Structure 1
Amino acid sequence: MSELLTADRIEEIGNLGSTSPDPAALVAELVGAVDEGRVADPDDTGYALLVAADILAQAGDLADALALATRAIAEQPDEDAYARAVRGGLLLRLGRSDEGMAELTALRPLLETNPNATYLVDELAEAGHTDLALEWLTGALDAILERTRTQQHESEDAQDEAAAMIYGLTQRRHTLREEMGLPHDEYDNLADRLRAASNHALDALDDGPATLLYWPQAEFDALLLRWPALVDSYPKTWDEHRTQIERALVEASGLGGGDLGVVAGTAEGLAAFAGDKPVDEETLDGYADSLDEVGLTAWPPGRNDACWCGSGAKYKKCCLPRSRS
């Protein structure tokens, strides 16, 4: 029997993409595994087809890419939003504008509820509809910020989700406006402020093996309650904190960083480490170093492994998408 196609192999093929000397062979490997029922995790069937579609699209074979994206939707109809967005973008690029816009417009509400849904505007921009992509991003931000102003009694989870949404949308909008050569506006300034809040995590990547100090949810709350002076060093919500850690690790990896990982801190542990010393950036870095040998969690985990943040969910369903929003 032929070898099973694992999630790691699918990701490896996706990274090779059209830079491979034989992209057709990669597509054949992916589609063949799906046809023969050799995908190790059935949940990755659509993933395999979409990676194959992306390779074909990069090679200019939009029609065959569209066929695979359409098949991905049929294979996994319960989790088809991304596949539908890819299909919509391909339809636009093939000149089937009415069909493509209908597909993407039906998904547009996700921009206000799903932190990962900026792939919708990526598809629009790729197809040359940058003005519309910017309009959708701005409209989603307007709606979310209005909702946070008017719904004062939202749950903590809802507030965390809104914070993650605002971060992702402002960053993607800011990037798009820079690509379009547009001057800064109020939302661009907000994007800059939110990005600056990530510097604490990024600073830890300067020297040697990159280990980031991460605070589980209860410890994050306890940390800021015990040392209010640290409020300006961290984002307002735990969800944004773990999002920043994930993005910082992705950025470090993209810059060639190796031996990446996180250590989970505790408020009591920091208090014992600091003693009479002030709890500042230097103390936090020293505390993180003290945890390296006893509590290091290597990053990234496998797509189907438990997420590094301790949520109990699979990485592919938890923090992995945060780096793509």
Structure 2
Amino acid sequence: MRPDTPAENVDHTAEAARLERTAGRYPEDAEALLLQAAAHLELADDRPAATALYDRLLATPDTLENAPLVRALKASNLWEYDHEAEARAIIDGIRAAAPRDPAPWVIVAESLESHDELEAAHDTFTQAATLLLTDVAEPPYATRPVLFGRHRVRRMLGLPHDDWDARADTLHSSPISLDELHDPKRVWSLGSDNPQELEAEISRLRAELGTYREALSRPFPVAVLHWPAEELTELLSAYPDLTTEYPSHPEHLATIETSLRELSTSGTGNLGIVTGTVPSYEAFAASEGSSPSDTALLPQYATTLAARGRAVAWPPQRTSECWCGVGTVYVECHGGANA
């Protein structure tokens, strides 16, 4: 499915079947593709079939890249069709395992929240924030839903602002503040006879909808293509016309960082890096009926890899290993001030 396809025009069952077939063709990407297929089945209200896909993935735990994410999605789905006890057991297991990826935390906390388990949702968001963000100067983009979700639940519970809420306010970029977006009284305004209250609420909803539209219009990261040194050497040896695009490996790495910084400065979020391999690129070129020497094919290849779930979020934390793979921490490598 194209990322700009309106949701109401999608046959979710057919799209799920297509993704399952694609997973068979690309077993190395099966996890991401089957998760997308399960999401379409949930949208088609075929929740038992979605659970079957989650179970299919969990049946081979040694090959899963993110087992906690699959378990979290399964728990959320189970609760939606009256399997509350099993969902709760999975959620408890995820919290006990304390994964380092924020996505499972957000999914299970929002599942608790959606079923009016606000105290449990708050505890889950707080546990995630403490685990993932304590002593982290710059919260990674992927952790923002943890802080925003916690802020929302605390507003629903009537709790005062704390340091985590202040950090959420700092990260929030919408013209409508988080306090307004998460105000429990907002729903009352929708039933008001006061035109000013209704107009104010419409403005808030438009701001919130704008954020959702931005996310929905780009379900996978804006990704820049990265070639490891060995792969780039092989690529240029086989297709020397690409030398104009890649004069040297150091220049290639510097261009990646510069491009991503420019995109970030322009306000583009959800950025990532995809790593190419020559066999994969050649197969993609063949599928497009084009020559690997065609430079116009490179961004299309990057987008395809991102759509298949191969993107790594950028930027990494300053003290995490740099995306370039040399083993140096990001702040001392391409994340330095003069990079």
Give the TM-score taking structure 2 as reference length: 0.47
Give the TM-score taking structure 1 as reference length: 0.49
